Structure 1
Amino acid sequence: MSTMVFYVWFDAPIGYISITANYCGDGWEAWWKSPQDVELVQFMGKDNVPFHTVIFPATLLGTQEPWTMMKSISVTEYLNYEDGKFSKSRGVGVFGNDAKDTGIPVEVWRYYLLAVRPESSDSAFQWDDFAAKNNAELNDNLGNFINRTLKFIYARFDKAVPGPAASGAGMEAVKGLGEKVSALVEQYIAALEGLRMKEALRTAMMVSKAGNAFFQETEIWVAYKQDKDACSSYISACAGIVLLCATLLQPFMPSFTRKVMEQLGVSQVPDLTDDLVQRALNPAALLPAGHPIGAAEPTPLFRKITDDEVAQLRARYAGNQADRNAAAPAASSSSAAAPAGGKAAGKAAGKGATKGGDSKAAAKAADGGKADGAAAGKGKKEKGDKAAAAGGGKGSKEPERPADISRIDLRVGLIKKAWRHPDAESLYVEEVDVGEEQPRTVVSGLVKFIPEAEMQQRRVVLVCNLKPANMRGIQSQAMVLAATSPDGSRVELVEPPAGAAIGERLRVDGFDCSQPDEQLNPKKKVFEAVAPDLATSEQTLLGLREAFGGEGSKKRHKNRCGSAGPVPFETNAFTSPRMTGEGVFYVWFDAPIGYISITANYCGDGWEAWWKSPQDVELVQFMRKDNVPFHTCKPN
């Protein structure tokens, strides 16, 4: 035993107590010996769980003193780096000092790492994805909404929130926004209390997306000229949503919240309580009428990361840290990226605007149309935009198709065989027939949810036009579609209509799905924009969320997993073109009435004692999963 040692985490958790004592002096016991007053929640990687859930608690219990014991634990899987693993010992990956050296603001790093937090399966840090999330979600959604709202107030309402109109003009639209946002705030609080960090972050961003859509749909810049009372209500509601975004995102990006509060002229964010849920029902009243925003003209909170920067960053942080440090003296001292508002940021933004002709989001001014020089630069871009608008010019091109289900290539497939990934414990590798000459190889993170035996010879729905991705050394050429329960604990495969042929393309009523993109551009995040609008009904039908009883619109972003069973076709659900217009009922649509008639045949007039006595009879049924929808639909 002389060669044996204790692993450091055997007794390292005692450091939590000693650190508290170091900072709090004699007051440390108020934290660690007050189990009736303190709730201890811990966050850690999965390899550290035994030391915090068994060994350390056992050590505390052994002292027979009243220690504060852990109540909840939030455990993550592994975060990988590009196509390999992070390794502190080998210096592979991007570390804290590296992130600081890039000059990219801390809030961008915090947002991305929380957005890809490996809560239920391993995830990966990808430079392309890092830039895409910054550009589309932070810059184009969140930053654009806040900037255009505050600039509008600054320029049109003398730097003060006007408040809702006394006449009530515009308040009907504000009420609709409030109902949507209040439900999201309630969902956000529930996710945080359940330690579902990713869900809470997604929900907070949906509040921003709702505000952005409201700004656009109400055409505030037009209302300002035609109905100023309604415009006052609209812009006050948008200012309230800005305050909500700052509040909901504070746990994730405190530095972002500080910047927003300064521009908004608010000293303290509201508390995350049930009262906030109620107040959110009227976002136009979240800030008092006449509230002055910050004195300085509002400036963009984020800026885009260009493709050139992504390439530089990937090259800069390739290999290991030791080699990078050795090469550092020879490298340029300039950062690959700089914070928003810095010189490098201005150059990059100007270059990107000229080169790409991007007229979206941050380049929009508060009136919804004119280019904002502070956000994206002027000059060549303005000229290019005018030429494109006139339909001429060298750089004119077809407008981008809207990000909807028609661009997704959904096909029926058959998993011929599936096996465990040799280098990833949470992944399956599948050979899938999609009606092509050769089967496709697909990698899916389903090991924790579906037994390997149930993956064999399984009919599935696949997204077939994603860009192939390298998954731990194996290229995945499609994605298997599945539904997830709200808490992420249950995942079920989506099954195509029973009569659909292998390789057949599925469609959604109301959309022309005949010409999906040949390959989705990962930087455009088309599938990511569509996926939140897919949902399953209580009858396990899969379709767009708006098709199921008005559960909001396409802007409600939360999948719901129905009971086990295949997904049959229905109006506005995924269907096979071969099966539409046939005008026949499936036999089980009305077959269950046979249960009643059979009872009447055997029991005569006494059948009602069984079928019309709900207070006396408990009906239990046993059946295969494919028959569940026909037996579980409750009468209206």
Structure 2
Amino acid sequence: MEKISRYLVTAALPYANGPVHIGHLAGCYLPADIYVRYLRARKADVKFVSGTDEHGVPINIKAMKENTSPQDVVDRYHRIIGDSFAAMDISFDIFARTSSPVHHQTASDFFKHMYDKGLFEEKETEQFYDPETATFLADRYIVGTCPVCGNDKAYGDQCERCGTALSPEELINPRSALSNAVPVKRKTKHWYMPLQNYEPWLKTWLLEGHKEWKPNVYGQCKSWLDNGLHSRAMTRDSNWGIKVPLPDAEGKVLYVWFDAPIGYISATRELTENWQDYWCKEDTKLVHFIGKDNIVFHCVIFPSMLKGHGGYIFPENVPANEFLNIEGEKVSTSRDWAVWVHEYVNDFPGQQDVLRYVLCANAPETKDNDFTWKDFQDRNNSELVAIFGNFVNRTMVLMHKLCGGKVPTFHPDKKDARDEALVQVLQDAKNKIETSLETFHFRDALTEVMNVAREGNKYLQEKQPWILAKTPQLQEDNQALIDNCLHLCLQLTANLAIFIHPFLPTTAKKILHMLKLVDRVLDWENAGSTKLVSVGYSMRPPELLFAKVEDAQIAAQVEKLHTRAAASVAGTLAAVDPVAEAPAFAPLKPEIQFDDFAKLDLRIGTITHAEKVPKADKLLQLTVDLGFETRTVVSGIAAHFSPEEIIGKQVTLVANLAPRKMRGIESQGMILMAEQNGKLEFINSATLVAPGASIS
């Protein structure tokens, strides 16, 4: 693209069937917001759109589980998700909904236009059908074991653990998510998009025309194209979604992955009357920010839809991130192993910039990365507090102490090589940050911003204006040196506000407030300037930009994470994942070998003491006699048993399970339980046996 007149930036549409976690933020929403804030600082014409995807099968399943309507579900989670993004300063121009009338009309018209052009194949095929509920099953209504990674909760269209795109036929032991019945095949009619017809164009446009895309994106697309594309159904049998706009399509809705990306178009239509400028003019740069599990849909299927429809531009880039793990384990909504954004903003009020900083500094740009609460604490205390905040605070304190609270004069005749080097640092930093942001290397850009703060600390330490102030025999000359030092430090502080604003907008505004500068100073054209604060201008008193995160805060977060996961595994917390609800009989797990089973050391034990864990309604602390020793075990069974009724019960204990702390208590094993119709039962021998006896 030779000339860019405007930008359209989209962020993936989250399913409105649950809250968002920090993996979502790190994957696409924070990078998109950083990029958009930078473009706005460049005074670019940019629109930033997103919204909730409200027609996915998970919404329907969630509604059935909660005995409510799909509309009630999406209304609730649209609000929760939108509030979470707002609290984290994600600055959408519009956060729309695919249940809106504008979207329904836009998606319906899009499909009808392609249909009228003869771009669909009408096929009657055998589809999976749930005989117990008399319902044709969309791919996401079918769950089973992923043939690639063994995840036993893979969907019929994709495994969310390993990201592999699937079909229901590929699942091992498929079952209906509605009733747990084994699906059968019945005939039904649908409209298919022959993606193979777009292969030659995709290879030219994507594989030859966008080799600059991130390797993870380009590589996944190339793999799909190398393996060959096939016709894919663009409609589904369902009563929730956008009705297929054809006379012979009763009970049919648009496939969610046909409907959802059109949500970007309908959101832009809601936002501005000039929406076609952003979707149809060649001098618009369209950028999709997504997670890696959405690459194929945004890089292969949606562009093919746009190509087939005609009249639309194609994405110039799709900078997808990898996944963010939590404390060394993959995020799992089914066992509540996640850091939820709405909970973070409650636990750390006013500290949204800390999380923004940590997620960007540790962004999974090229590979899966790991979020830990210890790293969160270290980055806050050792980087934000000790480097960035320290420089700004020292500058403001010294300016008030040594320069009367006003911007001191700069004396050119007292300028030295170190002063000139500091000015050059600002110019070099501006260029490096620009390059990194424009090529979607946000982590590198943030590193460069922090390097500017480091350079400021180094400069202050070398100049030591507090020492110069203590030599009265050279007071006049020394004051000029002090003035020059703090004048440049104040200019650098103002530059830090500009540089950090795309990443930490609240922090940038705090700096402007102390310096008594207006928001337009944040325009990118001002970056690198040493004329941002005026000589003689009074500054406000210094205020700390960041507070230290204490060990107790981190311990509480780690404990909460493990406690909820343990309770969820024990069946005492409602799973967030709708498919995770236990059916009448749980499906078999993947086959294991004898050697796998032989690693388990199962022992009979007797509960000799039980008490509730303070401030944990779901947990009991048990003392278990194994004959040869006594163990402490924390178990999530308090909702099913009182401490008094289980004293003397014999239980089966996994005795060689690695200890884990929960609520500050080291749990030294796991009690085996059986669940039936929501009720837990102990697994033990039919007759009393000696504690410590092995089960073999």
TM-score normalised by the chain length of structure 2: 0.43
RCO greater where, 1 or 2, for CA within 8 Å and sep 6 or more?
2
Greater strand share, structure number: 2
